Amino acid sequence: MNTNPIKKLSGLFEKLIIEHGSAVVQEKHIALLKEQFSLLEKENSDLKAENNVLKNEIVNLKKKIHLYEKSSQVITIDETELQILTYIANQEHDEISPEDIAESLGINLQIVTFHLGNLKTKQMVTSRHIAPFDMSPKRFWSLSHGGRSYLIKNKHIS
């Protein structure tokens, strides 16, 4: 066996250089990964803060939408309902029966009754029994604050 000590030493040096080079490269990779991880942690933290701000903004916008919907409930009525409202508004007494409305406006009694029900649901008219203890279905109808407000805002009465 020919063991040349210089060859043996050069082999060891070569191995040492390769291993040292790998360690340096590995160390650089680890440093790069640490730097990227740090950047990702900062970005994650920033995104969480932004997310919290956006969640608060969503809550505030939902409140505003709710207030807007509540304050600007758009009530639409058809032409027959408008005729009925205007007729009731122009009466000097509050003892208006569906029969009076039907006869005065020339509209079928069933149609008047139907529209009075719709207007009551929209809180534009109110009804009361003809007599205090009368439980019959006959009622007198009158304009509510909502109905008068609708007519005034839409310039149907002045």
Residues 68-74 have a mean pLDDT of 67
Return the H-helix or E-strand segment holding 21. Answer: helix 5-71
CATH number of the domain at 126, please: 1.10.10.10
In a domain, 158, yes or no: no
83/62 same-domain check? no
φ and ψ at residue 71, rounded to 5 degrees = -80, -25
Task: With cut-offs at 50, 70 and 90, classify the pLDDT of residue 38.
Answer: confident
- Asked which of 73, 99, 116 is the last residue of a domain, the reply is 73
- Asked which of 73, 92, 108 is the last residue of a domain, the reply is 73
pLDDT tens string 13-24 = 677 667 666 767
Q: What is the pLDDT of residue 57?
A: 95
13/68 same-domain check? yes
- According to DSSP, residue 153 is labeled H
pLDDT for 27 beyond 80? no
Q: What is the pLDDT of residue 98?
A: 94
Domain that holds residue 59: 1-73
Residues 57-80 have a mean pLDDT of 83
Is-above-0.85 flag for pTM? no
Q: How far apart, in whole angstroms, are the C-alpha atoms of residue 152 and residue 158?
A: 6
Q: Check: CB of residue 49 under 8 Å from CB of residue 57.
A: no
Instruction: Please give the tally of structural domains in the chain.
Output: 2
CA-based torsion, 105, 111, 117, 123: positive or negative: negative
Q: Following DSSP, what letter does each residue of 35-103 receive, concatenated? A: HHHHHHHHHHHHHHHHHHHHHHHHHHHHHHHHHHHHHT------HHHHHHHHHHHT-SSS-B-HHHHHH
Task: With cut-offs at 50, 70 and 90, classify the pLDDT of residue 62.
Answer: very high
